[in-house]
Structure 1
Amino acid sequence: MDTKLRTVAYDQHGAPFDGALVLPEGAKAPVPGVLVFHGWEGRSEGQEEFAHKLAGLGYGAFCVDLYGKGRRGSTPQECEALMTPLISDRAALRERLLHVVEVAGGLPELDGGRLAAIGFCFGGLCVLDLARAGAGLKGVASFHGLFTPPGLPIADPITTKVIAFHGWDDPMVPPADVVALGAELTKAKADWQIHAFGGAMHAFMAPQANSPEMGIQYHAATAHRAWTGMAGFLGEVLV
């Protein structure tokens, strides 16, 4: 299926942000929408590639910008400098996340009543935080995301369905964190799934990831399995 992309400028507290919307070619609006949350690098071509794949499945995909227009990281140091202020202030991060859900829900091309979100690495943490916050999403999918709770009030019950795809050999999310997330979601009465993949490290969805000494490595088989699982999940929650 052919797809098309257009930029979407929005703001929060006077600060400009630079998102992008990818739609199935010829689709009749409004279509179910999927927000795509980037990793620590910020808005990226890789994020847009996932958005095009989602559009190929028939969804409208909104590439979220969490850092601000033109703010991108090209080195680990730059990426960390952009991400750390938000990781360090989860209340401010939650406000930004909820705002962008409102932005996406207000786009005429998307069905605001049928929205989901996916995220990678830092973005994986973000979509879990949206579920915790009680955002109006049908489902969220976290790929090699961080599971650390935000230390903020959690929706009870969590009505957003949750699926997490996790590399078992990811040093950033040890097994204790996996168990803790399951316990947290169970306590909040969520409909949840955690899929753990043996032999997979952090960033298993990112073809450019190649630092196994740091526990960061693309894993093609796991990437395929996780994406296939997500497609089935979206088909369930965005009916």
Structure 2
Amino acid sequence: MTTVTTRTVAYPADGLTMFGHLALPAGTGRRPAVLLGPEGPGLNDVQRRRADALAELGYVALAFDLHGGRWFTDPQEMLERVNPLLADPDRMRGIGQAALEVLRAEPQTDPDRIAAIGYGTGGAIALELGRDGVDLRLIATVNALTTGRPGEAARMRCPVWAGVGSEDPIMPPAQRNAFTAEMRAAGVDWRLVVYGGAEHAFHHPPVDHAVPPGVGYHPRQAERAWRDIVGLLAECVPLAP
């Protein structure tokens, strides 16, 4: 395990001042990097710990912000912010590009070896970066089987991996089918893993407020999804060039 240094980075995006969480591994040489997108409620300690875990492995990691430092506990209030965002690919790309610029500007980042990993809304943003033709080595999403504007998936320049819970009512089989049809039509190197028995947000530990039906933590499948993502990083963005 390497020593990790962390700091908060402020940057403008979507008309807000965002506050990302940057985690750096020990050493001074350039490393592959990971742009980490949070769930719809926003950036909290769960995503910060994910970034720290990636830095412990040796990656530069930036967990980016969605809501100007805010984390929503009211699902309805969150949806009022997130739904218009998810309906606007250009806004999503702007949020992702702003965070990517911060990550690329970090001296330890190797700008030619960057992966984007996202959960929920953060995953949708990672996919939109791919559809915008951003040079990434890997896009990995959990609970983010969003489809894009016609034909734009052909711009994706890296492997795309998606994970989803079998019991997720927000990403049902019809949504899975639409996503895989888009990937197939675009000739993308894609994979979809369905985690049996898992609901939406199965990867996020329990929270201390009410959640809608169909949302729930599944620790076994959460651990499996994390291992799958780490394995993908080793395959597509190895620490040794």
TM norm structure 1: 0.90
- Alignment of 1:37 with 2:41, yes or no, is no
The aligned length equals: 236
Alpha-carbon distance between aligned partners in 2 of 1:218 and 1:235, rounded to the nearest angstrom: 26
Give the corresponding residue for 1:165: 163
Gaps of at least 5 residues in structure 2 are none
Cα deviation, residue 213, structure 1: 6.8
**Is 2:12–2:98's contact at 8 Å kept on the other side of the alignment?**
no
Alpha-carbon distance between aligned partners in 2 of 1:154 and 1:67, rounded to the nearest angstrom: 26
Give the corresponding residue for 2:132: 133
- Alignment of 1:20 with 2:21, yes or no, is yes
Task: Flag the 1:168–1:209 CA change in 2: closer, same or farther, 3 A.
Answer: farther
Task: Flag the 1:77–1:177 CA change in 2: closer, same or farther, 3 A.
Answer: closer
Task: Flag the 1:227–1:212 CA change in 2: closer, same or farther, 3 A.
Answer: same
Task: Flag the 1:121–1:81 CA change in 2: closer, same or farther, 3 A.
Answer: same
After superposition, give the CA deviation of every residue in 1:89-130 in whole Å (9 maximum; x if it has no partner). 222222222232222112212111110011111112222222
Aligned residue runs from structure 1 range 1-239, under 5 A = 1=1, 2-12=3-13, 15-24=16-25, 26-68=26-68, 70-145=69-144, 147-151=145-149, 154-208=152-206, 214-239=213-238
Secondary structure of 1:216's counterpart equals coil
Task: Flag the 1:157–1:36 CA change in 2: closer, same or farther, 3 A.
Answer: closer
Task: Flag the 1:16–1:185 CA change in 2: closer, same or farther, 3 A.
Answer: same
**Is 1:10–1:16's contact at 8 Å kept on the other side of the alignment?**
yes
Cα deviation, residue 152, structure 1: 5.9
Alpha-carbon distance between aligned partners in 2 of 1:144 and 1:62, rounded to the nearest angstrom: 20
After superposition, give the CA deviation of every residue in 1:152-200 in whole Å (9 maximum; x if it has no partner). 6514252121111110110001112112211211111111110011111
Residue identity over aligned pairs, in percent, reads 36
After superposition, give the CA deviation of every residue in 1:3-32 in whole Å (9 maximum; x if it has no partner). 2211112224774221121012x2333211
Cα deviation, residue 74, structure 1: 2.5
**Is 2:32–2:113's contact at 8 Å kept on the other side of the alignment?**
yes
Alpha-carbon distance between aligned partners in 2 of 1:20 and 1:104, rounded to the nearest angstrom: 10
Aligned AA for 2:12?
A: D
CA RMSD after TM alignment: 2.1
Secondary structure of 1:48's counterpart equals helix
Aligned AA for 2:176?
A: V
TM norm structure 2: 0.90
Secondary structure of 1:42's counterpart equals coil
Gaps of at least 5 residues in structure 1 are none
Alpha-carbon distance between aligned partners in 2 of 1:159 and 1:235, rounded to the nearest angstrom: 18
Task: Flag the 1:208–1:158 CA change in 2: closer, same or farther, 3 A.
Answer: same
**Is 1:36–1:64's contact at 8 Å kept on the other side of the alignment?**
yes
